[in-house]
A and B are shown apart, each in its own frame.
Chain A
């Protein structure tokens, strides 16, 4: 399953296993390598262990079996601060991610934990907000933002830590089609490696050239998204379904999100 790295990979997961104290096995011998700048979707039915897997990448879930390296640094208790800087984790519910009274303070939270000076921190905050087109939201309270604005702000809160990879858990959930399209365009402008958990298969096809299918704690497929989505037997076996009328084979390969800058409205 592991592809041999050509440059230094951003993430190397080797033989990861995880079980709850009651013995219920959630992850079984998971190995994944992600190269710099790569956008990879993690697909799979509910309860497949997708979120459990990504929470290992920054040490929120302690590693029981196997190893993980992020940018060549092994994830263990002694270097969690640096690991968490490198892995920008964007949670499914933006209200969980945005907990400070204003967006600006929230975006400053990570850099402040890294012990940056106020000047450096302010620069990072301004850059991160500009990168997601959310400069005008800086002094707003997260409660008063739309879902799309909240997601932008949530992405800014990890961009300000200068991560090497962005991990997004169900970024399109609760979005209307226009908000989903804007998110697609935004993610295309962010040049970082991205690992995206999603149930939204057309979204995966549009944003991620490569996909991994996780089912019952095991990686059952890892390859080009358009190939995986064209394999109807594979999809059926793992409770994955394309929206009615959607035919991935009729969409030309490489027709992923175009790189328009995000609208600044």
Chain B
């Protein structure tokens, strides 16, 4: 895939996960992530159940381990600092591989790591099985403010164009032997960024004219009236309900 569409995470398919209405998937992912986030860090059993749910969904959506692992890599920068916690935190200590570290700190690392991986996995399932246009539709069916959905939709539509324009500008600079290495060579980049702002602003004006020409008066029309069936809601509810039951069970057992 050319680098112009790198943000397109959707993997086409026709599995049951792909076919669910976007709004039920959005709600299910949100509920699942909340359930995971409030799970106490010592409820290892609950996390195991959540992990099982995620793995079953990966299998249902036909997402292979390579896809999943490469996409999970986005959490690395966020959790890397968590690895330091056991060395910094105080309190009682334990021996791990011959190094003495804080027990509380280890639990802290585990907490961040487990929740980040489970939460990201849930969003990987959503974004891999739902095109962006459908996610936006789902948001609007869930009555998200029309203006927010419209802004997201425009951003998605024009991001690639802006990236392409930036690439062309960089090529034009390189073609004239621009080879920035040092901070004092940053000026062309700064003026380039300024030019991008102006161009995007002008494009905004032209798009607005095109919208007005087709009767736009300030409110985005609601284009679809379809909504998810009860069956879809029930199917999508399984994952978060399992997570919530395991959460409650975890509380009951401790």
Contact = CB atoms under 8 A, between A and B. Distances in A.
Interface residues of B, number: 29
Contacts of B223: 105, 108-109, 112
Nearest to A114: B215
B54 to A, nearest CB: 28
Nearest to A60: B209
B221 A102 contact: no
Nearest to B160: A143
A110 B153 CA distance: 17
Interface residues of A, number: 32
B217 interface: yes
Interface string A132-163: 00000000011110000000000001100100
Interface stretch (A14-22, A68-76, A81-89, A227-235): A81-89
A95 interface: yes
Given A101-B136, A112-B223, A85 B215 contact: yes
Contacts of A113: 214-217, 221
Contact of A84 (B154, B206, B212): B212
B207 A96 contact: yes
A112 B222 contact: yes
A102 B133 contact: yes
Given A60-B212, A143-B161, 11 more contacts: A84-B214, A87-B213, A89-B213, A99-B154, A99-B157, A99-B210, A99-B211, A100-B157, A101-B153, A112-B222, A158-B213
Interface of A: 55, 58, 60, 81, 84-85, 87, 89, 91, 93, 95-97, 99-102, 105, 108-110, 112-114, 118, 141-144, 157-158, 161
5 contacts: A91-B210, A101-B153, A105-B223, A109-B221, A113-B215
Contacts of B216: 109, 113
